[in-house]
Structure 1
Amino acid sequence: MLSYKKHTALNFSSFIAGRISFRSKRTFSKLIVRIAIAGITLGLGVMILSLAIIRGFKAEILEKVRGFDGDITVIKYDLNASYENSPFIRADTFETSVKKSAAVEYAVPFATKPGIIKANNEIEGVLLKGVDKTYNWRFLKNNMVAGRVVNFADTTESKRELMVSQTLANRLKLKLGDNILMYFVQQPLRRRPFKIVGIFETSIEDIDKIYVIGDLALIKRLNDWAPNQIGGYEIRIADFNKVDEVSHFVDNNLPPRLKYTTVFENFPMIFEWLPLLDVNARVMLVLMLAVAVINMISALLIMILERTSMIGIFKAMGATNWNIQRIFLYNAAYIIGIGLILGNILGLGLSLLQSKTHIFKLDASSYYMPFVPIKLNWFDIVGLNIGTMIICLLVLTIPSMLVAKISPVKAIQYK
């Protein structure tokens, strides 16, 4: 019997809620419902889009700094503070142990050497990064503007091939196929001809303004290094969240007189800026959720006051305060549900549109990329939907308690 009464009460509350939500003939009620739905829609849509943009920013920037410099760099441990690496003999045992580790994606040798490019009556100081045929070109290929990467098939020609950034190409008025001269300040002064075979753009100012990519063998020859000498190792790990763990592994296997630095030390400004994005995301979520909740509270209060006479009649017929409260909570749940559906369509729609078309552009010099990046995370989307529904319903229990304050006699007389 008790179960039947509960079921009847639930059906009663649900039925009345449906009637006053979607079948109401009152123009003002319909307007309030539509405004409430619009508030939830915009709130959830903006929250989904904001998180997708924040995650996209972090992923893109992280990939740019990791892609060019790796996660861990190993160089000689000395007092050399210049741009030119101090040479050391390749550590075969270290290389083998690192490459065998499942946590390491790759470990490749490199060296850097400062130089001066002279072309089209323009002069620019650059830093030549020398790599060999084992270098992982994935990042640079993904950021190519024109041309190709250095080809190591022909040893003689590869020493003359050079990749420059779009920034340097614009400054020096260079294009694919141009021949240039690069001067290396040493005793005696060395001059080498190069051919531009590729133009890349990472949108990271510290990289694009200074770096050019060439053959490691050329740097060895200029510095009179032995064939088995290099300037350092560039190590990329499989899971970036394990940088500290892998760093300890690298440190434990390092030969004497070698040291390591992580990407955090190489690009400190960027990694100080990235956490601020999380703060912005939290502020945005709180503000949008507050707007949605306030909007729903206002709508619910107005609907309760508008239905004062109906509440009085139901109370006079024996309905409990909780039965009537449930009517308005069901009503709110219907409105929130529709708002969530439309909010998902809005947020996901705009995210997918931007992801496919890159219609919204950015100033690459300020934001490290030319367009607004998007990265959707289904855990975020589910969490936002569930969180919005629960928080709104919990908060709305407070205004629904206004029902208990309404007297049946006064309510029936209320117009």
Structure 2
Amino acid sequence: MNTELFIARRLFSSKDSDQRLSRRIVRLAVAGISLGMVVMILSVAIVTGFQREVESKVNGFAAHLQLVNYDSNMSYQTESINKQQPFLNELKAMPFVDHVQQYATKPGMIKTEEDIQGVVLKGVAADFDWRFFESNKVVGQQIELDSLRTNQVWISEQLSNLLKLKLGDSFRMYFLNQNEKVPRIRQFDVGGVYRTGLEEFDRMFVLIDIRHIQRLNSWDENQISGYEIYIRNMDEVDQAEYAVRNLVLANMNDDDSLLRVVNVKRKFPYIFDWLNLLDMNVWIILVLMILVAGFNMVSGLLVIILERTQMIGVLKSLGAANVNVRKVFLYFSAFLIGEGLLWGNILGIVLGLLQHYFEIIHLDPTSYYVDTVPVNISVLHIVLLNVGALVITLFMLIGPSYFVSRISPEKTVRFE
């Protein structure tokens, strides 16, 4: 039997200690640990949820990787590539690839009777994955990309409000190609409205049948702006970029257009750099909360040792070594920390789930890119937080526990 653990358990469950001064101090320390765990769980859940939400929205518009003509710059007026690429089947079969789809973009201008707005048409084909826009749909149906070219387009709710366009309304767009002095005019119908909260992109993109862009650019049916490649895990984007680039180079012929792979993190560095800065804020919060909890437990442990001086003297007179007495108080501290962590986990998870399902706290999407505070409750994160808090706090208590070695049996008599 582990004697030290047995004594610590009896101390933890003892009812006669409720009247002691140390019990009140310890309760404050436990409450501090609980509050710290609540803050840590919510901090990690909110930051990771925010990062995932913004990343998913950016990737929904631009994909994780884009395969484009090497001569195309970062504008949306692109050079074409051949839709028939010899490596497509091999690309789609890569284990980290979730989906591959063709696309084309072209800038234009929407003009109504009262307003005018510059936008970017994003042409989609039958292989387009509608999951992202369906999850952010306000009203409308998917564009029917069958054998006939359709004039149906999807616009954002922001554009809909700005230009006073509703579902079913028609509007004109103007396009100006290079070396053309007279703009081309096309009329389209609003077939759907979406809202992502990412206003920079909502204000820009209009979904349209890709064949309109091919016709506006005088391309044939095999010419597109490029391919969008969706990766299963955002953390694998850099490795995926390297693998896709090697695949493209291995299948490149002298007569083909030179292709390049565009990483979404380098295409929109200001967004992803900002998201990475949030990690530093989380680490600062975690360190501060663990230090506060640790110092609370140190003060509580010292008070407990002072009030249990007689017990320490008895244990030593019975032959217990200093290390055994120290283990008793460390086990006792572990029980107290565990109690604080338990209540902190319950409260933190409940608050996180309430925000996740009921969206209690709202945000300004113009500043934060989301309408409500996003929450990502991860079992792995919670386990790591609990293990880390327990280990670090106990480690901070090792030094103060040496105080028991300064207590001798004969002094306990005088102390009493």
Alignment of 1:156-195 (within 5 A): 156=149, 158=150, 160-186=151-177, 187=180, 188-195=182-189
Distance in 1, matches of 2:120 and 2:107, equals 4
Distance 1:87 1:316, change over 3 A: closer
The DSSP-based 3-state class of the residue aligned with 1:278 is helix
- Quote the residue 2:342 is aligned against: 341
Q: How many percent identity over aligned positions?
A: 41
Instruction: Using the TM superposition, give the Cα deviation of residue 247 of structure 1 relative to its aligned residue in structure 2, in angstroms.
Output: 3.0
Give CA-to-partner distance per residue, 1:65-90, whole Å, 9 cap, x none. 22221122122222656431222332
Equivalent residue for 1:251, pick from 248, 253, 264: 248
Counterparts of residues 12-411 of structure 1 (less than 5 Å)? 13-14=7-8, 17-18=11-12, 22-78=15-71, 82-153=75-146, 155-156=148-149, 158=150, 160-186=151-177, 187=180, 188-240=182-234, 241=236, 242-252=239-249, 253-254=251-252, 255-316=256-317, 318-411=319-412
Cα distance change, pair 50–12 in 1 and its aligned pair in 2 (3 A): closer
CA separation of 1:317/1:235 partners in 2, compared to 1, >3 Å: closer, same or farther?
closer
Query: Where does the alignment leave 5 or more consecutive residues of structure 1 unmatched?
Result: 1-6
Decide whether aligned partners of structure 1 residues 332 and 112 sit closer, same or farther in structure 2, where only a CA change above 3 A counts. Answer: same
TM-score, normalisation: structure 2: 0.89
- Range moving further from structure 2, 101-110 or 117-126: 101-110
Q: How well do the aligned residues superpose, as a CA RMSD in angstroms? A: 2.4
Give 1:147 deviation, angstroms.
1.8
SS class of match (2:86): helix
Query: 2:199 is matched by which residue type in structure 1?
Result: E
* Inter-partner Cα distance in structure 2 for 1:327 and 1:80: 68
Q: Cα deviations across residues 51-71 of structure 1 (Å, max 9, x unaligned)?
A: 222221222222112222112
Looking at structure 2, the residues matched to 337 and 238 of structure 1 have their Cα atoms a distance apart, in angstroms, of: 37
Query: Could you say if the C-alpha distance between residues 273 and 81 of structure 1 is closer, same or farther in structure 2, counting changes exceeding 3 Å?
Result: closer
Change (3 A) 1:28 1:94: same
Distance 1:62 1:289 in 2: 29
| Amino acid aligned to 1:198 | G
Question: Residue deviations 1:223-243, cap 9 Å, x none?
Answer: 222222222221223343132
Which segment drifts farther, 259-268 or 325-334? 325-334
Q: 95-104 or 206-215: which moved more?
A: 95-104
**Inter-partner Cα distance in structure 2 for 1:257 and 1:403:** 74
* Cα distance in 2 between the residues matched to 1:250 and 1:57: 33
1:16–1:327: 8 Å Cα contact kept in structure 2?
no
Distance 1:15 1:151, change over 3 A: closer
The answer to whether the 8 A contact 2:108-2:173 is kept is yes
Structure 2 runs not aligned, ≥5 long: none
Q: What's the secondary structure of 2:25's corresponding residue? A: helix
The count of residues paired between Structure 1 and Structure 2 equals: 406
Q: What is the rounded CA distance, in whole Å, between the counterparts of 2:188 and 2:369 in structure 1?
A: 28
